[in-house]
Amino acid sequence: MRRHTRPDAGQAFPIYIMMVAGLLFLALAFFAVGKASALRNSAQGAADASALAAAQTAREQFEAPFIAALWTDSIDVFLRASPFYAACGAAQGLASDNDATLTSCTPEEGGRTDSFTTTVKGLDTVDSSVLPHSDRTHATAEATAIIRFQCSWTSVDLNDDGVKDVYFFSCDHGRMMEIKPSSPPPWSSVSKILFDVHLVDR
């Protein structure tokens, strides 16, 4: 018996090839989008870490000027012009530790609340064959951390000589502390009570 070949049998193979190619392209595209999302999350983590590092370093550097403000009874003056020194150097270090480079670090003085805003660029690229220019595209992210003075205070001149001898601070969460300018406690034990550091919600 003679076997007859269907005339459309040869046309199915090119269609099959096109379908496979289309599915492969979609798979590569989804992979590229997933990688881009992961790199974006990594860059955001680096931005968060760098902003926090800058704010925490600034808080550590407040010790000498803050104690000086106690001696002169000028805490309000200190809060209006908090010194930042080289805190952005810490931001660069944390960005590098998180596979990113710091592109900007901007301190802002705001009275009882100061802030650092950092911008970073991830070191890795998406580098996908299905996304044009992805070999030159880096994830970027921005974060802001604030330093907030979270206490009210009263002071006492024990010797009636015009110099405040003791300051009593009432801080958030019901925390109380006493600081004598002549013999202040270790800054590490009081700085986190006086000044809260946290990221601003995005």
Using only C-alpha atoms, the chain has a radius of gyration, in whole angstroms, of 29
Given a cut of 60, whether residue 7 has pLDDT beyond it is no
Q: Which residue has the tokens 């601003």?
A: 200
pLDDT digits (tens, 9 = 90+) for 120-132: 998 887 655 555 5
Say what the pLDDT of residue 82 is. 75
Look at residues 171, 178, 176, 179 and name the one whose alpha carbon lies nearest to residue 196.
171
Residue in this structure with the two tokens 């998406």, named with its chain if needed: 126
Residue partners of 19: CB distance under 8 A and separation at least 6: none
- DSSP 8-state secondary structure symbol assigned to residue 135: G
Per the CB < 8 A criterion, the answer to whether 134 and 35 are in contact is no
Return the amino acid letter for 8.
D
pLDDT at residue number 112: 84
Q: What does the alpha-carbon distance between residue 32 and residue 128 come to, in Å, rounded to a whole number?
A: 6
Report phi then psi at 124, rounded to 5: -85, 155
For residues 39 and 33, the model is more confident at 39
- Residue 3 CA to residue 58 CA, distance in Å, equals 87
pLDDT tens profile 156-174? 999 888 889 999 999 999 9
Distance CA 51, CA 144 (A): 6
Nearest Cα to 57, choosing from 91, 25, 23?
91
